[in-house]
Amino acid sequence: MRLLVVEDDPDLRFAIAAALRGAGLAVDVAADLPAADEALFVTRYDCVIFDRMLPAGDALDFVGDLRRSGQMVPILFLTGRDSLTDRVDGFAGGGDDYLVKPFALPELVARVHALCRRSGQLRPPVHVLGDLEIDTARRQVRRAGVRLMLTGKEFAVLEILAVHADQAVQRGVLVEKCWDEMAEPNSNVVEVLVSQLRRKLGDPPLIHTVRGVGYRLEAADPAG
């Protein structure tokens, strides 16, 4: 999943991005609304996190414009304003969730995952391909009943492949969804990570290279 964090406090922005990246998510950042507007124009995000009060104004007005334009990306507001009226205004203005500062970073990560699941972009919550089970809610993977220990980034790539099981997923799609703007698109990060995934998933192999395109996840042939 790829996220956008819009926060003008550099320390908090860094902490939020680090926590989300640590959970295997791709994170772009913006310090103000004009930068957020540009990012949303060029990139399709799975979730956007907005600080309510930004240098160019209240993000609530910006989000209202987004909703009126048909932009339905899940949105989580961060704010120090915790009155009932503020929370109601946040939801009425187009927000999907509302987290009051100070907050625990693990809670923020959990809420982001929940928002993306509710958006319907990662249905079903449990993917089963033969003896492989991917539980997106618990962030757990099992093969033949044995739990596999994957890194956050490995899980993110496997999840995208599972959503498109039996289909070829372009390498560029994996880069766009699982790495952020800090990644070098011409590097071999995808190939290295897929190699690690194959080793952890074991035999018979489940991830297949589609020459000139990318990768395909499919259930192992029980006969062979």
Smallest CA-to-CA distance from 206 within 163, 119, 124, 143 is with 143
Structure tokens at 210: 């589609």
- For residue range 200-216, what is the model confidence (pLDDT) as tens digits? 999 999 999 999 889 99
Confidence at 94, pLDDT banded by 50, 70, 90: confident
Note the pLDDT of residue 140. 87
Q: Which residue bears the tokens 């039996």? A: 166
Instruction: Over range 2-28, report the average pLDDT.
Output: 91
CA distances from 38 to 6, 28, 34, 166 (A): 12, 12, 6, 35
Quick one: pLDDT at residue 36? Answer: 92
What pLDDT was estimated at residue 1?
A: 80
pLDDT at 76 over 90: yes
The predicted-structure confidence for 38-66, as pLDDT tens digits, reads as follows 999 888 898 999 998 888 888 998 998 88
Q: What percent of the chain has pLDDT over 70?
A: 92
Cβ–Cβ < 8 Å for 80, 101: yes
Domains, the chain, in order of start with CATH, read 2-118 (3.40.50.2300), 126-217 (1.10.10.10)
Cα angle 95, 99, 78; round to 5: 70
How much of the chain, in percent, has pLDDT values that exceed 90?
Answer: 45
Judged against a pLDDT cut of 60, whether residue 222 lies above it is answered with no
> What does the alpha-carbon distance between residue 156 and residue 158 come to, in Å, rounded to a whole number?
6
Cβ-defined contacts of 135-139 (< 8 Å, 24+): 137/113, 139/113
Q: What are the tens digits of pLDDT across the range 135-169?
A: 877 788 999 999 999 988 899 899 889 988 899 99
pLDDT score for 122: 43
Residues in the chain: 224
pTM: 0.64
pLDDT 10s digits, 104-134:
999 999 999 888 877 655 455 678 888 999 9
